[in-house]
Each structure stands twice: as structure tokens, then as C-alpha cells.
A and B are shown apart, each in its own frame.
Chain A
Amino acid sequence: MSLRTPLGKVRGLGSAKDGTQHFWVQRVSAVALIPLTIWLVAELVCLTGAGRDEVLDWLGNPIQAILMLLLVVAGFYHLKLGIQVILEDYVHSEGARLATSLMNIFVCFAGGAVSVFAVLKIAFGG
């Protein structure tokens, strides 16, 4: 039995029942992505026209591999949060919203998993 009052339980949580968590994680990932995207654009511009060997060489460097891992994890998580808000705003039918929200989560985590696997495979000399 909880001694907390009903008002105390919901205060600060809002209609979504998770308070400011979504807002905060969206901002944290946004701040992380500022330097990471600048790094990615600079590296990709330098890799213009590069073949597979050059890409393997590049991601074989531990620093580059770690930065790429941070970028794909922060990026796909930020994407998941952003698309979620768009679906909540624009998809009005409950069934369609549930289906598209699940698809959003699955696609973003799959994209992240594929990217992380690929970077690790290259980094470990695979």
C-alpha cells in the first residue's frame, strides 16, 4: 500500500505518464549530435568517391569507429523520439497510431543494430 496521495502520484507526469523524460532525452541527444554530425559531414566529404578499401581503413581507426558508434546510437534514438512525436500529432486513429509507433521503434532499433554491427565488424578487422 502506498501512502502517496493520488495527486502526488501524477504531479509532474502529465498525460503521457512519463513527465519530462522524452523532452530531456531529445535535447541530450540533440546536443550530442551537434559535434557528431559536423564530424560526419567533414569525414564523408573527405571520402567522396572513396572505394571500399578506403572506407575500411577509415573505420579501422578506433577513434573514427567510436565516433561513428556514438553517432548512429544518438542519431537513431533521436530519430525514434522525433518520429514518435510526429505520429502522436498527426495519426488520429488509435489502431494506426499503435501500428506506426511500433513500426517506428522496430525500424529505428533495426537501423541502429545494423549500423553498430557493421562498424564493429569493420573495426575488429572483419
Chain B
Amino acid sequence: MAHVKRPLSPHLGVYRWTVTMATSILHRASGVALGAGALWLAWWLFAAASGYEAFECVQGFSTSPVGMVLLFGVTLALMFHLLNGIRHLAWDMGHGFEVKTATVSGWTVIVLALVLAIVAWGIGLSMMGAFQ
């Protein structure tokens, strides 16, 4: 059996990026990020159940500059995964497969996720008096 150099099908890298490709891989990426977020939630709940010192430790991390950047990232991932998940459920029922519809719904999900994440943080920060 000689090794014949057969042509390979082109890999992802040869294609121009489209918003539908981006939302597809972002759904997985945001899912992984939410895995970290879920463990963060478990840590927070366990600390609240454990005592004041443990709770202060989580709150200290969550309100540190690094913690707040990460928490905003988790918020954004949550909004995106939630909205894009609804888009996936619509596809599961056979709706929205036309190229134009999928492109429009893709951009809608991205923009809306950003808006909702910023609104959630705006409300939270204003409750802490950050804008006074």
C-alpha cells in the first residue's frame, strides 16, 4: 500500500468569517465560561452557608478589579448563551434557517447580549451608588 497524497477537504481557515460561524463557536465558548461561572456561584453559596469570613473572601474576590472584569465576562456570556440558546431552540423546531434570517438573528443576539449585560451592571452599580 503506497502512500498516495490524496486531496484533503479545506479546513475552516479558508472560509471568510460569517456572523453565523461566530455565534456557533461563541455558543460553545460562552458555555465553557459559564462553567467557570457556575463553580463561582457554588463557591459563593457555600461561603454564604459557611460563615462571615468565608463570605467576605468571595465578596473580596468578586469586587476586586480582576473579579469585576471576570464577573462582567460571565454576565456577557450568560446573556449571549441565553439568547443564542433561544435561537437554537427555534432552529430545533424548524424556524429561522434562511440565510438572511440566521444572519439577522445572529447580529440581534450579539447586540442584545451586550445591551442586557451593560443594563444589568448599570442597575447593580447604581444601587451601590457608583454614579452619585
Contacts and interface: CB of A to CB of B under 8 A. Distances in A.
Nearest to B128: A49
A122 to B, nearest CB: 5
A117 B49 contact: yes
Interface of A: 27, 30-31, 33-34, 37-38, 41, 44-46, 48-49, 51-52, 55-56, 59, 68, 72, 75-76, 79, 82-83, 86, 107, 111-112, 114-115, 117-119, 121-122, 126
Interface string B38-54: 11011001101111100
B45 A76 contact: no
Contact of A34 (B31, B46, B50, B82): B82
A46 B78 CA distance: 17
Given A30-B85, A34-B85, A49 B127 contact: yes
**Range of interface residues on B (Cβ < 8 Å):** 20 to 34
Mostly, the B contact residues are helix
Given A72-B41, A75-B38, A111-B38, A118 B127 contact: no
A59 B48 contact: yes
A37 B31 contact: no
B125 interface: yes
A115 B127 contact: no
Contacts of B41: 72, 115
A123 B14 CA distance: 55
Nearest to A30: B85
B34 interface: yes
A34, A56, A68, A118 — most chain B CB neighbours (10 Å): A118
Given A44-B124, A48-B125, A121-B49, 8 more contacts: A45-B127, A49-B127, A79-B31, A111-B42, A115-B42, A118-B46, A118-B50, A122-B48
A52 B52 contact: yes
Contact of B38 (A49, A55, A76): A76
B78 A118 contact: no
A120 B42 CA distance: 13
B118 interface: no
A3 to B, nearest CB: 36
B111 interface: no
A48 to B, nearest CB: 4
A53 to B, nearest CB: 9
